[in-house]
Amino acid sequence: MRKLILMGFLLNLLYVTIYATIINVPAAQPTIQAGIDVSVDADTVLVQPGTYVENTNYNGKNIIVASVKSSLT
């Protein structure tokens, strides 16, 4: 039984790793919220340097929202 549970966990981890997507803001989506809205679990919303004035809602999604460090610092 333990082997079956472990195998299921590993297959799920492999599936998530293969199908996770990086959504670039603002190149692929104009706002952070738009990037979150089109994302699915395990995706990453990658935000480029800039000023973004918005309220975001993850809508219960298991995603990563990260930013790129500006080269100006």
Task: List pLDDT tens digits, range 10-62.
Answer: 666 666 566 789 999 999 999 999 999 999 998 999 999 999 999 999 999 99
pTM: 0.73
Encode pLDDT of 49-65 as tens digits.
999 999 999 999 999 99
Residue with tokens 């990563």: 64
Nearest to 56 by CA among 29, 28, 31: 31
Q: Can you tell me the distance from the alpha carbon of 24 to that of 49, in angstroms, rounded to the nearest whole number? A: 11
